């Protein structure tokens, strides 16, 4: 039965907006991030390194991997989340994917603001 209190009813109806199963709502910040991650996970390490990564992305991933490796040697208790170089390659591509979406939004907002004036 519907509650006669309109504000409570509106509040109850709005509860579905942030539910966990609403993936389309949660993935608006970085669209296709899940698909992109799955795609690069299926690519061989050789293709990932030689064909998909730019030189700067490779250097970033390799330097982060080396620093992680050095820290692990210095501090035996250190347990990094990522151990393999491939994981750093993937993370480099994912961060670049996010950066590109951020830049796209900024330029879209500039155009949108320009049209509104």
The residue ranges of every structural domain in the chain are: 35-116
Of residues 35 and 19, the one with the higher pLDDT is: 35
**Alpha-carbon distance 95 to 105, whole Å?**
15
Q: Under a CB-based contact definition with an 8 Å cutoff, are residues 53 and 117 in contact?
A: no
Report pLDDT digits (tens) over 42-82.
999 999 999 999 999 999 999 999 999 898 889 988 888 88
Please check the confidence at residue 14 and state whether its pLDDT lies above 90: no
């Amino acid at each position: 039965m519907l509650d006669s209190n309109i504000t409570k009813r509106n509040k109850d109806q709005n509860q579905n907006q942030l539910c966990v199963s609403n993936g389309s709502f949660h993935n608006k910040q970085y669209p296709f991030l899940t698909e992109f991650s799955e795609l690069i996970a299926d690519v061989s390490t050789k293709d990932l390194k030689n064909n998909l990564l730019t030189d700067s992305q490779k250097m970033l991933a390799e330097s982060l991997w080396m620093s992680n490796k050095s820290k692990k040697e210095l501090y035996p208790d250190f347990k990094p989340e990522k151990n393999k170089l491939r994981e750093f390659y993937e993370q480099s591509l994912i961060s670049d994917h996010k950066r590109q979406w951020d830049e796209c939004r900024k330029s879209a907002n500039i155009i949108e603001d320009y049209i509104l004036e």
